[in-house]
Structure 1
Amino acid sequence: MAQLKKNQANSWLQAGVMAVLVSLPTACMQPNRVEGVVQAPTSSEAKSNSTYADVQNLVNLGPRVAGTPVMEKASSYLIDQYRKAGYITEVQTFTYQKFVDLGSNLIVDNVTIEGQALNGSIPGKLNAPLVAVPNVGRSADFAAVNVKGAIAILKRGEIRFSQKAENAAAAGAVGLIIVNNQPGDLYGGSLGGEAKLPVLGLSAEKGNPLIARTPNTQVNLNVNAKRQIVTGRNVIAHLPGVTQPKAILGGHYDSVAGSPGANDNASGTAVVLAIARNLSNTPQARQIWFIAFDGEEDGLHGSRAFVNAAQPQFLSNLKGMMNFDMVGVNNQLGIGGTSSLTALAQASLPQIKTFGSIRGSDHASFADKNVPVLFFYRGSEPNYHTPNDKTIDPKLLDQTTQVGLDILKRLLKTN
């Protein structure tokens, strides 16, 4: 694997690549929620669709969490596929500080209940009574019960996690448990900063029976989490000699902990690879870089590292960056981004749906550097950020690939 090093003479790379912890919206935030039902493809569809095979091969690796050994396997797979399509590849490594749960749980009546520390929780081991707080944890809800010296438990919803934690600490609680308000574990929850007490997330299935228990049950809360430095890996592919592309196509290949990330975002990763395969023997390929970003789910770290390492001239010479994220579920494909590029997309495909500016994915890093951007996205679905994100529709991948190709070719023709 070819890595970008400080002594390489890449015109776009500044000396040293280091991403720092930044406060950004949770990755893949949705402009609206679109429900979708995913139909498993037939065996003939799957066999004939290399893009679908790419998704499944990534999913089969398990959750692709930045900084884990799985990401080395995932990046190696992508490198191999791009090289088979005729491209040279480079791996841009970068580091950042990341909140890591090392195994958090709640022990009730000698039964261990696994949970997930919320990003921003302080670590802690507590033995204290468990007190259910009514509703969702507003100040008035805490006023209705006595949580001083106790571990408060309440439901997710209506107000931010950070506000629930602030209200719990203000009421004298020593710990907080937030129970998901929908089926499944509470993965990827963030407090948006460091809390004053340990905060654990539980699934509705595990948490709701505890809320209904007799008050003041004595429990042990173990929030085992810390911040550590992790190394991310951006996979960059282009034809030999292409040092100044006119366009960048990208999508993140990492997923959240616990989720194999078929739709979010093996789907976008595979579409970018499919477009690269389609163009590999055409003149257009000499005008493009293809990038699989790492660290998106932790705050767009891979794309931030890339644009921060790029020379200003490299970025200013780009006609656009096209980002593909969550494009394997829901029939309606939408686009958003810079007005000039959304207008160009509509000129190519008048029927395409547009939505307002959205910042929750890797194109935002390019937009911050004044690069025109276009975001391809099909909306959220019930399996978003859950262990059930395993299935996509190969026909939607093909459709997105074709739309991306049509718009890209039009973009490259612009002055």
Structure 2
Amino acid sequence: MRMAMKKKGLKVAASLLAVSMAFGTVGVAATANTTGPTSGKSSYSQDQKIVARVDAERAIEHVRYLSEEIGARPGGLAAEKESAEYIYNTLKSYGYDVEYQYFPVADQYIAEVAFADGTSWQMAAGPNGKVSDDAVKGEVIFVDGGSSLNDFPADTAGKIVVMPRAATTAGYRTQVNNAVEAGAAGVILQSLVGSRGNYGQTFNPSLDKKVDIPVFGAAFIQGEWLKEQLAEGPVELSLTAEQFSNLQSVNVIATKAPKGKSKDTKEVILGAHHDSVVGAPGANDNASGVGLMLELARVYKGYNTDKELKFIAFGSEERGLLGARHYVNQLSQEQKDKIEAVFVPDMVATSYEPAKNLYVMTPDGSRNMVTDSTTAAGARLGNSDILPGTFGSSDHVPFHQAGIPAALFIWMGVDSWSPLVYHIEKVYHTPQDTIEDNISPERMQSALDVIGSGLFDVVRKDVPALNK
């Protein structure tokens, strides 16, 4: 999910939410729709064709491979290509026609922080800092401040300085310039906790001038871990940074042909981004969406569908929805007109307790085939976890802007006592977005049931007996 940010049968009334944020706008409808619109095609027995077969643990095995075997998957880098290859091979093994779709992306500045025991962390590097394969080694000191030269100890020279970053760009530039003047061998700026309690992610420090030392942007939790190690004794680090240029990111597209096809045959898409931010293994954001997509692809392969169905893993969502934008932009108007609905699961399995509802969100809060089919599926299944809402920051946006019905699925919570407080897990976009810290099998199962049933109701081959 690109942004600065369960129970079945539980009926939750959510207050109206409208929050303008740097990463998008969120709004939530006032009440759960426990009845939902009916499509005229669905029945409980039809839903069971999906519910009886989808398996959260199988979906989480995909999450495990992406987040643990591969790890952080920044758009355009080798790990994202490895992710694409895994998704390609999985879909191919199910019998789908699969293709890669490449597109260019901007340079990445990646930092590696290595410890004496051989472990290493990924951070983001400042382009105006030292970017070189030559390692800068030194002992770590923690400076709680940095806005004044007096904040730095007399023995700063040759040390690697870790500082909580100032709240503004101008402020942390002053911190870096003072560290350079104090003789620091390198600077690691610790990201801050957000206003809603979310832990800050890695970032590329934007410096106002070139400096001859590496300057890295660490996730908040990485700074905390460094402080814990310093409390136990001296810490030695080795810092390297690299600029990656001439990059290509990649979408993976699998197609399921309909039982019969004519010039009027419609198309439906289930798409989830497979990249993550720098330094984050991205278990929930968004290996969870990919895991859900792959599990539904496995199940759907055995059923006839009346519409062409595409499963798409989008690249570089975290860099500006680039994969989805590229996909939409290369379509002709005729191809756009054939797309009937786009389902976008993004962050669909968090274990964060306050994020207690699965939302189906459109950029403007409007209803469409995606919202109606899944809300109705939730009602039929007795699952009132799913609520409608407004959200404008994920891969559904480029489709919506092109006039194509699309919606996002995400777990979120809203405090009933305050319409301006919402909950998304505090560890998203951080090294703690792991299966252990941030994945719930129960919530994955709920998402599979509701999204899978709603999607199937849209694409399935109409069998009259199932409507009785």
* TM-score in terms of structure 2 length: 0.61
1:187-238 Cα distance to aligned partner (Å, 9 max, x none): 8523586653553235223257879x9xxxxx99956232422222211011
C-alpha displacement of 1:117: 5.0
- Pair 1:328-2:349 in alignment: yes
Given that 2:274 and 2:287 are in contact with CA atoms closer than 8 Å, whether structure 1 keeps it comes out as yes
Measured in 1, the distance between the counterparts of 2:64 and 2:237 equals 40
Q: Which residue of 1 aligns with 2:337?
A: 316
Q: Which residue of 2 aligns with 1:381?
A: 425
1:39-88 Cα distance to aligned partner (Å, 9 max, x none): xxxxxxx9994323332333442215244444444333323332343321
- The counterpart of 1:363, out of the listed 391, 396, 402, is 396
Match of 1:203, SS? helix
- What percentage of residue pairs aligned between the two structures are identical? 22
Q: Which residue of 2 aligns with 1:205?
A: 225
Residue identity in the other structure for 2:254: A
- Pair 1:232-2:240 in alignment: no
Measured in 1, the distance between the counterparts of 2:310 and 2:317 equals 18
Measured in 1, the distance between the counterparts of 2:142 and 2:65 equals 43
Given that 1:123 and 1:226 are in contact with CA atoms closer than 8 Å, whether structure 2 keeps it comes out as no
Given that 1:120 and 1:193 are in contact with CA atoms closer than 8 Å, whether structure 2 keeps it comes out as yes
Measured in 1, the distance between the counterparts of 2:78 and 2:137 equals 35
Given that 1:239 and 1:285 are in contact with CA atoms closer than 8 Å, whether structure 2 keeps it comes out as no
Q: How does 1:36-75 map to 2 (within 5 A)?
A: 49-65=57-73, 66-75=75-84
| Structure 1 residues 59 and 115: CA distance shift in structure 2, 3 A | closer
Given that 1:51 and 1:394 are in contact with CA atoms closer than 8 Å, whether structure 2 keeps it comes out as no
1:1-38 Cα distance to aligned partner (Å, 9 max, x none): xxxxxxxxxxxxxxxxxxxxxxx856996979xxxxxx
- The counterpart of 1:165, out of the listed 151, 154, 172, is 172
Given that 2:360 and 2:371 are in contact with CA atoms closer than 8 Å, whether structure 1 keeps it comes out as no
Measured in 1, the distance between the counterparts of 2:296 and 2:407 equals 15
Match of 1:381, SS? coil
Superposition RMSD in Å: 4.6
Q: Which residue of 1 aligns with 2:128?
A: 122
- Pair 1:340-2:339 in alignment: no
Q: Which residue of 1 aligns with 2:51?
A: none
- Pair 1:189-2:214 in alignment: no
Measured in 1, the distance between the counterparts of 2:170 and 2:149 equals 15
Q: How does 1:246-395 map to 2 (within 5 A)?
A: 246-284=267-305, 286-330=307-351, 331-338=356-363, 339-341=366-368, 344=372, 345-349=374-378, 351=384, 352-359=386-393, 361-379=394-412, 380-384=424-428, 385-386=430-431, 389-391=434-436, 392-395=439-442
Match of 1:118, SS? strand
| Structure 1 residues 223 and 58: CA distance shift in structure 2, 3 A | closer
- The counterpart of 1:407, out of the listed 454, 460, 463, is 454
Match of 2:163, SS? strand
Measured in 1, the distance between the counterparts of 2:121 and 2:300 equals 45
Measured in 1, the distance between the counterparts of 2:433 and 2:188 equals 23
C-alpha displacement of 1:90: 1.0
Unaligned regions of 5+ residues in structure 1, if any?
1-23, 33-45, 214-218
Match of 2:326, SS? helix
Q: Which residue of 1 aligns with 2:415?
A: none
Measured in 2, the distance between the counterparts of 1:323 and 1:101 equals 28
Given that 1:250 and 1:292 are in contact with CA atoms closer than 8 Å, whether structure 2 keeps it comes out as yes
| Structure 1 residues 355 and 194: CA distance shift in structure 2, 3 A | farther
Measured in 1, the distance between the counterparts of 2:410 and 2:322 equals 20
Given that 1:104 and 1:225 are in contact with CA atoms closer than 8 Å, whether structure 2 keeps it comes out as no
Alignment coverage as a number of residue pairs: 360
C-alpha displacement of 1:321: 1.7
| Structure 1 residues 84 and 171: CA distance shift in structure 2, 3 A | closer
- Pair 1:177-2:188 in alignment: yes
Q: How does 1:116-155 map to 2 (within 5 A)?
A: 117-118=123-124, 120-124=126-130, 142=148, 154-155=163-164
Q: Which residue of 2 aligns with 1:41?
A: none
Given that 1:64 and 1:74 are in contact with CA atoms closer than 8 Å, whether structure 2 keeps it comes out as no
Match of 2:452, SS? helix
Measured in 1, the distance between the counterparts of 2:376 and 2:292 equals 22
Q: Which residue of 2 aligns with 1:88?
A: 97
C-alpha displacement of 1:404: 0.9
| Structure 1 residues 127 and 51: CA distance shift in structure 2, 3 A | closer
C-alpha displacement of 1:301: 2.5
Measured in 2, the distance between the counterparts of 1:101 and 1:230 equals 13
| Structure 1 residues 348 and 113: CA distance shift in structure 2, 3 A | closer
| Structure 1 residues 256 and 78: CA distance shift in structure 2, 3 A | same
Q: Which residue of 2 aligns with 1:42?
A: none
